[in-house]
Structure 1
Amino acid sequence: MTISTTTLGGTASNVTVAKVAHGLMQMTWTPSPVSDEQAFEAIKAGIDAAPTGSKVVLNSGEFYGTNPRTSNLELVSWFFEKYPEYADRAFLSVKGGTTATALEPDSSDANLRRSVDTTLEKLRGKKRLDLFQCARVDHRVSIEETIGTLATLVKEGKFDHIGMSECSADTLRRGHAVHPISIVEIEVSPWSYEEETKKVIATAEELGIAVAAYSPLGRGFLTGSIKKPEDLKENDLRRRLDRFKDENLRHNLALVEALTTIAEKKKVTPAQLSIAWVSALGKHVLPLPGSSKASRTLENLSAGDIQLSSAEFAEIQKVIDGHEVKGHRYFGEAINAHLWG
């Protein structure tokens, strides 16, 4: 299997990585976490498949767990404790910067230090923290102050590179002016391609920043496996999202069906088509799907090597333009208020 590669940005511009990154959130932030061994095999599969001399971006979070909320970091630590030879073959990106007990952004100097120190404590030195980013932009603290604090922590040797997440193009430009940003993480998929999405991707290209495009499969919806709310378990968090509510879901299925038709002609899965489309948005754009199975990790990785002709790309774009997506990306005013910070 051929795996395409690209480089990161900012202070990590010399780091070569697989074109498709690996999100670890659903390994632990779910009512039914997978076993450690299954998670380990999923991580190993991606790293083993990456070309010699390249790394795989592993995306974790300080709060990606339910009991405890740091369980994703602990899983990462256990993995590298068991397989130390993989440490230098992975690029670990961690989101944090929320309050210790909730998911409210808190970019105060004290809390950012707490968040980074908690991350390092849970990693136990088993893996270097390559990049740290605030999960959301704190409206109470200027982005210049936030990035300035993180730059100080870089100088202290706590981690190596700075990222940003769920920010606007203007905020990204301001943050980058304080310290080079290596990765900006935003939601990108055929059902999440807003005007601000395009602006962030263009600004990142201009400034030499990599884009980690999270949820390229629309939280699983674009795979075609979810056709009604009952296809999700009762405690599945997606049931709370507007786009998965009954009326909206039925309407949004038209987009999936149209993409599936194109995928069948291309002889790829709908998931691979979505990842390939996201990847085609730019050399600097890394699709960031989640995976808890080795087979799915490999399927996702291989999608980064699928080439779309100009006609195929235009056909997909026509489908996206012709299908209005119903429902917000998230739920609740408090969460929506922090999108495109």
Structure 2
Amino acid sequence: MRPIGLGCMTMSQSYGDADRDESLATLREAIDIGVGMFDTADVYGAADAAFGAPSKGFGHNEELLGETIAGRRDEVVLATKFAVQMGAEGAVRLVGDPAYVTQACEASLRRLGTDHIDLYYCHRQDPSVPIEETVGAMGELVAQGKVRAIGHCELAVDELRRAHATHPLSALQSEYSLWERSVEDSGVVAACRELGITLVPYSPLGRAMLTGRIHRGQEFGATDFRSLLPRFCGEGLDRSIDLVEQLREFAAEKGAAPGQVALAWLLAQPLDVVPIPGTKRASYLRENSAATGIALSIDDVAHLSALFDPAGVPGGRYPKPEDAR
């Protein structure tokens, strides 16, 4: 299998409308070409409500993936998540008590049409529940054979260590890319390497910015949550594109696309990394998967790291609360 997975969220929410038939075709092709992991979550399809957009419904993405893998379950590594619930008017609620962990897993198994999940993540830790209780309940699912391995998302180093001490974590999913490297400064990357935990970067292409397909003055529709993000608006957008233009020049020298170089940079990091770029189009899926063939030297990696020095990347990851819809 390829060391690049597929983030399936975009087929259900957050990045504009998706065509169902096109999404299914992309998922089937991903299986055909040996994509390493399919990443989903029970909330994908419902979370658009948090950004003021219409919801396809809780579980939509899992059901889409479940339809795709019917009859081909043994060809895929399946990862899904629990803990995020959507309340009235898009209010986000985190739930991580042991009873809910079991309930959520059973519901995901039904939607996915399988008897086991290869990698089961806690999407975000419920602050009202000790992480040991949540992870302990996830460990029980492993003992029962319903889950093969467990992971967590967006943990600080101390939380990561506490979780791993309760039950070994196989993976930590966090945003990580040339464009977003806070997990380096926070010590998370070093901790994952020390503990033998695979880092699974989501948005490894900077929400498409690193593909070079975003242009100056681009406007994002009401169903595309990038319209709310500082790095995609006004001066932030212009400064981001300045950086990407330099990435484009570097990639051209390698005979590659900018996004392929960005993924190759991740794969060159000194720890186990499985990026999960999201796409709903087969052409982009093929382009992303081909990044495994891009060879970067130590000097290339250092040059790209310096080019995207975090101090020079504009804006924050998310809007300030007062700026959100």
The answer to whether the superposition gives a TM-score over 0.5 is yes
Instruction: Output the amino acid matched with 1:315.
Output: H
Specify the alignment match of 2:266 in structure 1.
Answer: 278
Task: From 20, 23, 27, give the equivalent of 1:39.
Answer: 23
Residue pairs, 1:266-305, within 5 angstroms: 266-305=254-293
Instruction: Output the amino acid matched with 1:289.
Output: P
Q: Deviations over 1:84-120 (max 9, x none)?
A: 1x31121111011123645322111232223212212
Instruction: Output the amino acid matched with 1:33.
Output: A
Residues 229 and 239 of structure 1 are in contact (CA less than 8 Å); yes or no, is this contact kept in structure 2?
Answer: no
1:49 aligns with 2:43: no
Residues 96 and 115 of structure 1 are in contact (CA less than 8 Å); yes or no, is this contact kept in structure 2?
Answer: yes
Deviation at 1:69, TM superposition (A): 2.2
1:312 aligns with 2:300: yes
Deviation at 1:333, TM superposition (A): 4.3
Q: TM-score scaled by structure 1? A: 0.85
Deviation at 1:253, TM superposition (A): 1.7
Residues 192 and 218 of structure 1 are in contact (CA less than 8 Å); yes or no, is this contact kept in structure 2?
Answer: yes
> What is the distance in 1 between the residues matched to 2:43 and 2:215?
30
Specify the alignment match of 1:11 in structure 2.
Answer: none
Runs of 5+ unmatched residues, structure 1? 1-16, 337-341
1:119 aligns with 2:89: no
Query: CA distance change for structure 1 residues 322 and 293 in 2, over 3 Å: closer, same or farther?
Result: closer
Instruction: Output the amino acid matched with 1:68.
Output: G
Deviation at 1:237, TM superposition (A): 0.9
Specify the alignment match of 1:106 in structure 2.
Answer: 95
Q: Per the alignment, in what secondary structure is the counterpart of residue 119 of structure 1?
A: helix
Query: CA distance change for structure 1 residues 195 and 116 in 2, over 3 Å: closer, same or farther?
Result: closer
Query: CA distance change for structure 1 residues 250 and 323 in 2, over 3 Å: closer, same or farther?
Result: farther
| Equivalent pairs, count | 311
> What is the distance in 2 between the residues matched to 1:331 and 1:153?
36
1:20 aligns with 2:8: no
Residues 60 and 94 of structure 1 are in contact (CA less than 8 Å); yes or no, is this contact kept in structure 2?
Answer: yes
- After superposition, the CA RMSD in angstroms is 2.2
Specify the alignment match of 2:234 in structure 1.
Answer: 246
Q: TM-score scaled by structure 2? A: 0.88
Specify the alignment match of 1:218 in structure 2.
Answer: 206
Task: From 176, 185, 206, give the equivalent of 2:173.
Answer: 185
Runs of 5+ unmatched residues, structure 2? 46-54
> What is the distance in 2 between the residues matched to 1:208 and 1:42?
32
Specify the alignment match of 1:133 in structure 2.
Answer: 121
Specify the alignment match of 1:61 in structure 2.
Answer: 41
- Give the % identical residues: 32
Task: From 233, 248, 252, give the equivalent of 1:260.
Answer: 248
> What is the distance in 2 between the residues matched to 1:212 and 1:189?
11
Residues 5 and 276 of structure 2 are in contact (CA less than 8 Å); yes or no, is this contact kept in structure 1?
Answer: yes
Instruction: Output the amino acid matched with 2:18.
Output: P
> What is the distance in 1 between the residues matched to 2:116 and 2:292?
26
Deviation at 1:278, TM superposition (A): 1.1
